[in-house]
Amino acid sequence: MIQVEWFYWLIGLFFLLVGVLVARDRTNPRRVTSGVFWALLGLCFPYSSFVVAKTLPAWPLGLTIVVIAAIAGTGRLAKSGSATQATVDGDVEGADLDRDATGSERFGRGLRSHRTDPDTGSGTGGSGPGVSGSEGGVGVLTQITRQREAFAERFGNKLFIPVLTIPILTALCATLGPKIKIGGQPLFHVGSETVIGLAAAGLIAIPIGMYLFRQKTPAIALTQGRRLTEDLGWALVLPQLLSVLGLVFATAGVGKAIGTTVSKVLPDGSLLPAVILYCLGMAIFTVIMGNAFAAFPVMTAAIGYPVLVAAMGGNPPVIFAIGMLSGYCGTLCTPMAANFNIVPVALLELKSNYAVIRQQIPTAIPLLVANIVLMYVIAF
């Protein structure tokens, strides 16, 4: 049987390697603490398997999470200068992502001193030791841009083949995986067919991309993966932590406390106010916690199940599905959903941190109203 834990361990190995590369990169102003951040995150994946199996205590894992949060919260997590430059320049090969101080300084000096005139296409300024100012009169940035354009023109729509491979294989594993058995035993870990399919599809896409685009080494997956990981930074961990926060709130009885308050205020048999409270509460709690999965156990324990399902006889699948969609309306409106609303601002270099949110609010509010109407009409 293919276990889902194998892929979690592989993810942990990736973060460990990222931590090593970051710690070795002298262009990172916080390379030690940044390396520790990613390495500790990587260690959490294999260790958590033993915690789930109850063969190791959970407290070291919790302590590790506290250290990770402290590193990010005190500004000790930084992006390497090499990764930053690769992002700016479009370093598709990833060859410059892991260099020592001498190499990075040499590359940086040449890049800073040799720029391309947008009108003439010729290089301006002096040249550093690593980049000659007279190499055909073409600047480094122009060369990289032309390489990318030539790459796209050469391969055309083939560029989408590795990308489309992932959802296609994932869908096949999700639908056909539960039916595949060997010797009477399921091939995939029961209940994890989709996750296994997603992970396996990502691995399969790497050699497909290497073959199509004539890449000789799979190291490009690591170097580009590291670049993207550093671009996302601490926001990469936020969804998991916020999901856990929802479970903590539910375990602490926050949902029950809210439910008790609502039951005292809400008149008996008031269906529409109850629907509005549930949908609006899902959106508001998602805005506060940044994740609809974190808001769901709280609001469902408070209103969704005891009021709408148990007391008013609503259809549970419809109520909970529309409730989650109402939470997603909150996701569109909050900077707490950093991976959705803040990271794109950084990657696209937008002027305002709230540019994405401002564009999404006109969609979020009508969608929330539509969810309330749908739940009221079809769930009862």
Whether the CA torsion 334, 335, 340, 341 is positive or negative: it is positive
Secondary structure element (H or E) that encloses residue 185, with its range: strand 185-186
Task: Return the number of other C-beta atoms located less than 10 Å from residue 175's C-beta.
Answer: 12
Identify whether 336 is part of a domain. yes
Check residue 295 and give its pLDDT.
86
Identify whether 188 is part of a domain. no
Check residue 154 and give its pLDDT.
82
DSSP H helices, the chain, are 4-24, 31-52, 59-73, 81-89, 101-113, 140-155, 160-176, 193-212, 219-232, 238-251, 254-265, 271-289, 292-299, 316-331, 338-341, 343-348, 355-378
pLDDT digits (tens, 9 = 90+) for 273-289: 999 999 999 999 899 88
Average pLDDT over the chain, rounded to whole? 80
pLDDT digits (tens, 9 = 90+) for 223-243: 888 988 888 788 788 777 776
Identify whether 108 is part of a domain. no
Identify whether 6 is part of a domain. no
The secondary structure of 261-277 as a DSSP string is HHHHHSPTT-HHHHHHH
Check residue 143 and give its pLDDT.
61
Check residue 126 and give its pLDDT.
42
The least confident of 35-49, 240-254, 362-376 is 240-254
Mean pLDDT of 22-34: 90
Identify whether 35 is part of a domain. no
pLDDT digits (tens, 9 = 90+) for 114-127: 343 434 444 444 44
Identify whether 288 is part of a domain. yes
Nearest residue to 31 via CA among 226, 237, 241: 226
Q: Provide φ and ψ at 307, rounded to 5°.
A: -95, -55
348 token code pair: 């696209």
Q: Is 28 left (phi over 0), alpha (psi -120 to 50) or beta?
A: beta
> Range of 299's domain?
237-378
* pTM of structure: 0.68
Identify whether 141 is part of a domain. no
Q: How many domains in the chain?
A: 1
Identify whether 31 is part of a domain. no
Distances (CA, A) of 99 to 1, 107, 140, 147, 203: 41, 10, 18, 22, 26
